Amino acid sequence: MKTIRDIKPTQLENGKWECDLGRLHTKLDLHDPRPEKNGKKIGRYTRFETKLEAERWLDALDRGSRNIDLDISPTQKIEFKQARSVLDEAGFNSVTVLDAVKEFLKHKPIQTDETVLECYDHWIASYENKTRSKRTLEDIKRVGRSLEPFTDEDISSFEQPECALRLVQYIQKTWTNKRTQTNHFTKTNQFFNWCKLSDKLSKNPIEGRYEIDKINFHEDPCILTVEQTERLLQVAKETNEEYGMLAFWVIALFLGLRPSEIERLSWNDFDFSDEKNPQLRVPQCETGKNKRARRINLTPQVMKWLELCVKKTTLYPPAYNKRRRIVLAEAGILDPKASTDEKRKWADVCRHSCGSYMYQAGWKEKEITARLGHTSEVFRHFYQNCDVRETDALRYFNIMPS
């Protein structure tokens, strides 16, 4: 924590000296020790004619602030004063401020008598009022399964450590898969943070009560070979009437969009008016990894494949996960009996393949990260060390419908 002693005067271009207290000026809440200031409160920046004046001023502040706990935030300071006044009225005049705060927080009243289920319903409604995809809503609703044994209990029961411990043990026992368990803990933690902010709980009851194993989900990102890509597109073409996934695979494989981004698209987002420069408008999204709107130029390769698609169908098919796995299995890429973790590795195979071949085809890092919405760190992890040859990249972006 930064203290007054850590602050050094800095010389300005005009020869004067300045002391920058940063956020300390709000925590100290002191009056200026100089007589000519008549008790004016100090601000963040204070200037002096000489360095000696500045150092003497800092020494005076240091002496006046030695009894102030700088770890206390301005918000906590307000709570402390409230606690102090409550205890003063009750006759506890000899109690220190710190003990008063501990006593106040220990007996801080809960602002609601709602049940866990009622709080959960309000939390879900707060999400539904925002612009969020169905996929996001389904993801956060997993909290309902984590809280299932506690739905009829009052939310205030989670103020007791025993109840929070039962919840942690229930999640650990019910979901043994580490990734699934982590997802349940993460979403449940979000729910309790909302309860805390909504004054339904004084604290997050499960914070610090569980440890998430550090799992490297992207040790070996899956990348399709040119031959696998050709088989995949052929199967998607042959089964397009049944599954309606050809347009999805084309956009994902050759434009690198995320499934959540394709879910927001419609055929109206394609601009075919300029035959020389057709474009796809990716709309802005309030949630997700890549929230900004952008335009992507459509290559002749993509145009040829899109000509085979029925423009009346949706780009993101219903039962997406099930149909995606069926097409991958029929193309001989994914084993239908593969484990859940193995299937998850293929979730972003199209994006990773597109980015890898773009890099080997000579695209610059800035262009790829802008197109795919990756950070530079992710770009270097996925694509710079990929086992893809330049000749394969040229073949990949020349795959045409037969």
Give 265-296 pLDDT, tens digit per residue: 889 889 888 888 899 988 876 555 555 678 88
CA distance 236 to 249: 8
Same domain, 21 and 135: no
* pLDDT exceeds 90 at position 42: no
Question: Does pLDDT of 32 surpass 50?
Answer: yes
Tell me the C-alpha distance between 78 and 81, whole Å.
5
Q: Is the same domain home to 170 and 236?
A: no
Please state the pTM of the whole predicted model: 0.50
Does residue 258 lie within any of the structural domains?
yes
Length of the chain: 402
Within its chain, how far is the Cα of 391 from the centroid? 37
Based on the fold, state whether residues 244 and 389 are members of the same structural domain.
yes
Classify residue 301: in a domain, yes or no. Answer: yes
**Alpha carbon distance 158, 164 (integer Å):** 6
Of residues 117 and 199, more confidently modeled: 117
Angle at 168 between CA 162 and CA 169, to 5 degrees: 85
What's the average model confidence in pLDDT over 171-176? 86
The whole-chain average pLDDT of the chain stands at 78
159 domain residue, yes or no: yes
- Look at residue 204 and tell me if it is in a domain: no
Instruction: Say whether both 85 and 154 belong to one domain.
Output: no
Rounded CA separation 333/350 (Å):
12
- Residue 214 is assigned to a structural domain of this protein: no
- Rounded Cα distance between 343 and 83, Å, is 55
Q: Does residue 46 sit in the same domain as residue 138?
A: no
Q: What is the largest CA-CA distance in the chain?
A: 89
Q: Assess if residue 221 is contained within a domain.
A: no
In a domain, 79, yes or no: yes
Q: How many domains does the chain have?
A: 4
Identify whether residues 176 and 272 lie together within a single domain. no
| 247 in the same domain as 328 | yes
23 & 91 share domain = no
* Number of Cα atoms under 13 Å in the Cβ half of residue 210: 26
Backbone angles phi, psi at 318, to 5 degrees: -65, 155
Same domain, yes or no: 45 and 100: no
Estimate the crossing angle of helix 246-255 against helix 226-238, to 10 degrees: 160
| Same domain for 294 and 147 | no
In sequence order, the 6+-apart residues with CB closer than 8 A to the CB of 21 are 4, 7, 28, 42, 43, 44, 45, 46
* Helix (H/G/I), strand (E/B), else coil: 373: coil
pLDDT, average across residues 75-98 = 61
pLDDT attached to residue 400: 93
Query: How many percent of the chain have pLDDT more than 70?
Result: 75
Residue 287 lies in a domain: yes
Domain interval for residue 80: 74-106
pLDDT in tens, 204-238: 888 776 664 443 444 567 888 999 999 999 999 99
Residues 6+ apart with CB under 8 A from 26: 74
255 and 390 fall within a common domain: yes
CB 201 within 8 A of CB 114: no
Which CATH number do you get for residue 380? 1.10.443.10
Q: Do 34 and 129 belong to one domain?
A: no
